């Protein structure tokens, strides 16, 4: 959407056809898809897609990931947690209470980035910032940091999370610190001025 003349174009499809699935923006900019099924049957657990998939905006490809242990269809949720895992839960409750297709359980999905070595440590950071301000972050891992972003935690309902946002931020690396540039304003935070 930052192009002078943005337009829609076709990219490769997911490996599994899905309805009632949930998309979750991950901190690395990729997108996780969980749940759903191959028909519009809201509780059709036999047609449920158990494997998760990840969309890479860099390569414009989908990768099939580990399978969930339970089908997640209508009324299911996937939510990015503060520890960077994704909580996937629920499903069912379409026609009544205590249906055999209800999924009264949850599970955590741990994305691949959690297995790439030790996570960076933040020793101090401000609790707030201002538009256009500089955020000084103290970290002994500054030289290993490849990206910094704001990510808004979601609020999912009925397989849609209209509150997700990932805003990449410009930053410079110092000795044991990062100097991060906050967005200039609220209207177009992805554009750096």
Task: Enumerate residues 6+ apart whose C-beta is below 8 A from 112.
Answer: 54, 65
**Angle at the Cα of 146 (from 61 to 163), degrees rounded to 5?**
60
- What's phi and psi for 143, nearest 5 deg? -70, -20
- What's phi and psi for 48, nearest 5 deg? -70, 145
- What's phi and psi for 142, nearest 5 deg? -50, -40
User: Which of 20, 74, 109, 131 does the annotation list as catalytic?
Assistant: 74
Q: Is 20 annotated as catalytic? A: no
d(CA 97, CA 112): 37
H or E, element range at 88: strand 86-90
Q: Which among 44, 100, 53 is positioned nearest to 78, based on CA atoms?
A: 53
Where in the sequence numbering do the catalytic residues fall? 74
């Amino acid at each position: 959407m930052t192009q002078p003349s943005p337009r829609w174009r076709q990219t490769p499809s997911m490996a599994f056809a899905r309805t009632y699935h949930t998309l979750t923006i991950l901190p690395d900019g990729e997108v996780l898809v969980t749940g759903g099924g191959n028909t519009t049957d809201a509780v059709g657990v036999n047609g449920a897609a158990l494997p998760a998939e990840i969309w890479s905006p860099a390569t414009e490809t989908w990768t099939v990931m580990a399978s969930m242990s339970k089908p997640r269809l209508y009324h299911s949720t996937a939510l990015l947690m503060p520890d960077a895992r994704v909580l996937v839960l629920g499903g069912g409750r379409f026609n009544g209470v205590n249906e055999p297709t209800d999924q009264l359980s949850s599970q955590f999905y741990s994305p691949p980035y959690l297995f790439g070595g030790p996570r960076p440590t933040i020793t101090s950071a401000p609790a707030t910032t201002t538009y256009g301000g500089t955020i000084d972050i103290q970290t002994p891992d500054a030289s290993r940091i490849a990206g910094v972003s704001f990510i808004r935690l979601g609020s999912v309902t009925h397989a849609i999370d209209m509150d997700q946002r990932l805003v990449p931020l410009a930053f410079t690396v110092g000795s044991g610190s990062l100097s991060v540039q906050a967005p200039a304003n609220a209207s177009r935070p992805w554009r750096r001025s």
